[in-house]
Amino acid sequence: MNKIILLERLQRERDQFEQLLNRVGFARRLTMKGVSGHLTVKDLLADVLLHEQFLADRLSEILEGETYAPSSSFSALESFQNHYGYPDFESTLYEKDKPNLLVLDQYKNIEFDEIVSQELAVYANILDAFDKLTQHQCLDHDLFHRIAEHTYRPYRRVGSAIQRWLKKIASEPK
């Protein structure tokens, strides 16, 4: 894969994700519980934001010549989360594909529009940092996989949950 192909795929996935969020927002169902367990669309967007923030910080470290190593102990995993405010998503000790409810709790009192604003800013940071990276840096740091893992794979996961939920509530008697 190369940078151009990844950017095209990322933008296509991003467009689909934003269209779905707009559809849910238009229906004013952003804070209704039950989208995924007891989570709301707002909670799931906060989870996407955390993944993107994780990625943006790692890309920034690469640009600054710093080295990231996934947490290899539970104490290191806890320290990482305390330091950054989000989990070490790439640690083998972290439970993947499941939102971290303790971390999401910090977004409980933040308005949906603010989460959207933060998420858009972080996404722009990812694009900006990725643009500055060379093809060799991308290959050396497995960025094609890592970017997918923290952007459009969460979009797909969250999007699938939202679509299932929308079908479910559409079929419920009024």
**Structural Rg of the chain based on CA atoms:** 17
Query: pTM of the predicted model, to two decimals?
Result: 0.92
CATH 1.20.120.450 fits 3-67+97-171, yes or no: yes
Nearest to 18 by CA among 165, 164, 162: 162
18-75 confidence digits (pLDDT tens): 999 888 876 567 777 888 888 888 999 999 999 999 999 999 999 999 989 999 999 9
85-129 confidence digits (pLDDT tens): 999 999 999 988 777 787 888 998 998 889 999 999 999 999 999
Under the banding of pLDDT at 50, 70 and 90, the label for residue 130 is very high
Beta bridge partners of 36: 39
Looking at every residue in the chain, the average pLDDT score rounds to 91
